[in-house]
Homo-oligomer: A and B are copies of this chain.
């Protein structure tokens, strides 16, 4: 009996062992899941984001800035090359963790003052001297009198205060890039901001032929101030920054302006590109390589037809306060303690300048120069053919501490933290990350534009998003962000995870909400994001030419404390490390907050299983634009028998498709679906903005193809092509222009319907 029991026990044991061996010991003939099954379904790792946030170091950002601002680094100069070398050193360092870094060169057409023959602006006695050497130039609009007595000479360089930065021999003289050279002389007039309406108004009182117009920054693009003037016979333009617009009215460098505060000293001058279009001016739509076809410099469009020169407000005050003629309107008045008159034309009879002319001797020249982008890459593990691009320009006008080196310092820090993780083998992004340090942005976003022209097909097919952080910190009050509406959610999500600098227990998000907010029908009160409707930084080519989803961010002002149109040292020789570390962001905590927020977004874009792009938020913006368009235009359009119904129905289609897409994403267990289903959804989200491109919609706007976000001159918060066409049709004598309004309605309806088609079930 016991034997039997033992036998049975043995059998039972053997049976059990058999089962165990069978189950664990023998591999199933249906092989186990391939190793990539888990990898392809991995989502963003929140603990990795926490680690990233904790490792972003404000002092390293400060060190980066110190290094980058040692010398002036205007595009294509020796100082620029120094920064190229620095970026390459950082990103090519095997310790950096980047997979590759390299430079890409373009041969681009830039404009410079002649150091041997600096630009001069003088007040000269109007005594006309015969000048036989110029008889051969009868086309010059005014007689030129180099021998006229100089009663006043505008300062040629900015004053040095506390350190030698302003004395660096490589500080470029203030000038207007792409202003033509020329020697012109005329009676001075004051033309406010140089808008079309300003010249129109001024010309009613003063005969502008042969005059020099002085204008203040703001209201119109730089180049526009000269372009708008030329049709009236104005022969030259001066431009300055009024203390009203930049210094909250303060003017004295004895105790008010830098080095006593962040305000611009009287000799400070904003430099800038005076070209309207972006990209290399000689190679439209083509990457500017050695043998690329170039148009003739005379055929460049959108640049000043007459000389223009920026000057400091110290000199501008001297000139404006002496002007004769009638008093200009209240809206034209600035901060100088005098009445701003139109000009007689020219100066008051009571002035020491009476009957004098202003003489401009401008010697700018154009030249094709080598400009470099520096690129760095972390290859994606699962979807290397999907790119998240993060970029900023590298070139400045002078030392460029804020513009752009604050952004570059942030980029270097976040690439350091991410690269270190790659190097350690603890992380690699799902998608590829491309860092771009663009060249020659200050001359018209040239490096980034050439990059997009060269690589258009692959960038447009593969880029998930472009993140631009140019000036990282304008001021240290609050975050500011702009972008396509679809990125709002990921910006908010990231901003909620970052502590606001200088405010206890408050997130960047909560702090932002206090400074700038709006009410969203779907989300309630939320921070107000901007749109990327212009070409203010390197996002332009990505947004407007390629239709790539993009965002731009920075820390910025407390508007209750300043009305400055931009930080006062902008594009001057005062934008230095000293200025930044004393007045903009002492301690670099705002830089750190931007690095954390932007880096957080970058990681989410690169690692999320489903792209963090929200199409319902896009729908909300379209509905908002539509509402404005209907209220502004519908009544008038009905009188021309033009229906807005197709546009309304397109926006409704988009909303419906967006809602369905959201529901589909939320109701699916995507981590357990075929990776091709996730890819399908991600492609729909990634390519959504491409549907809004129309290369023919704006024949007069260079490389503006995105029909929702293109620039507009109508000043309405609605669809740009429609707004501009409507404004132009409404102006007198344009009855046939209503066809163009109808055309833009059709373009928009088709584009929005196409975008909706991208979101609905694929077939």
Contact = CB atoms under 8 A, between A and B. Distances in A.
Contacts of A287: 750
A687 B19 CA distance: 53
B22 A20 contact: yes
A683 B385 contact: yes
Contacts of A19: 18-19, 21-22, 26
Given A14-B14, A23-B22, A385-B680, A289 B461 contact: no
Interface stretch (A324-332, A399-407, A754-762): A754-762
Interface stretch (A184-192, A507-515, A577-585, A669-677): A669-677
Contacts of A18: 14-22
B676 A382 contact: yes
A695 B457 CA distance: 13
Contact of A739 (B11, B293, B675, B758): B293
A743 B387 contact: no
Contacts of A21: 18-19, 22
A580 to B, nearest CB: 34
Contacts of A676: 40, 382-383, 675-676, 679
A36 B669 CA distance: 14
Contacts of A127: none
B695 A456 contact: no
Nearest to A291: B646
Contact of A289 (B40, B434, B646, B684): B646
B674 A382 contact: yes
A132 interface: no
Interface string A679-695: 11001100100110111
A674 B674 contact: no
Interface in A368-415: 377, 379-380, 382-385, 387
Interface stretch (A27-35, A437-445, A480-488): A27-35
A703 to B, nearest CB: 10
Given A458-B754, A674-B675, A745-B293, A33 B36 contact: no
Nearest to A454: B750
A623 to B, nearest CB: 20
Interface in A650-664: none
Contacts of A382: 674, 676
Contacts of A683: 385, 461
Nearest to A100: B763
A166 B21 CA distance: 84
A564 interface: no
Nearest to A378: B763
Nearest to A647: B291
A10 interface: yes
A698 B511 CA distance: 52
A286 B40 contact: no
A763 B26 contact: no
Contacts of A643: 291
A690 B291 contact: no
A696 interface: yes
B747 A286 contact: yes
A687 B459 CA distance: 12
Nearest to A754: B457
Contacts of A675: 40, 674-676
A742 interface: yes
A106 to B, nearest CB: 13
Contacts of A14: 11, 14-15, 18
Interface in A730-753: 739, 742-743, 745-747, 749-750, 753
A129 interface: no
Contact of A23 (B23, B457, B680, B690): B23
Interface centre among A17, A18, A30, A695 (most CB of B within 10 A): A18
A388 to B, nearest CB: 11
A50 interface: no
A286 B10 CA distance: 83
A119 to B, nearest CB: 32
Contact of A293 (B15, B432, B461, B743): B743
A354 interface: no
Contacts of A684: 385
A17 B15 CA distance: 7
Nearest to A387: B763
A38 to B, nearest CB: 10
Contacts of A24: 22
A387 B742 CA distance: 33
Interface string A424-467: 00000000101000000000000000000111111001100000
A684 B461 CA distance: 10
A142 interface: no
Contact of A33 (B31, B379, B434): B31
A21 B379 CA distance: 45
B754 A672 contact: no
A37 interface: yes
A39 interface: yes
A147 interface: no
Contact of A36 (B380, B385, B674): B674
Given A18-B19, A22-B20, A385-B680, A32 B34 contact: no
Nearest to A644: B291
A635 interface: no
A432 B425 CA distance: 40
- A-B interface, 9 closest residue pairs, ranked by CB to CB distance from nearest: A18-B18, A22-B22, A19-B22, A22-B23, A457-B691, A33-B33, A385-B762, A695-B695, A36-B674
30 contacts: A7-B7, A18-B20, A18-B21, A23-B23, A28-B28, A33-B33, A34-B37, A34-B672, A40-B676, A285-B694, A285-B696, A286-B746, A286-B747, A287-B750, A289-B646, A291-B645, A292-B746, A293-B739, A293-B743, A377-B763, A379-B763, A383-B680, A384-B763, A454-B754, A457-B754, A457-B758, A458-B758, A461-B461, A461-B683, A695-B696
Given A10-B11, A385-B763, A461-B690, 10 more contacts: A30-B32, A33-B37, A292-B746, A377-B763, A384-B680, A385-B680, A434-B763, A454-B753, A457-B687, A458-B762
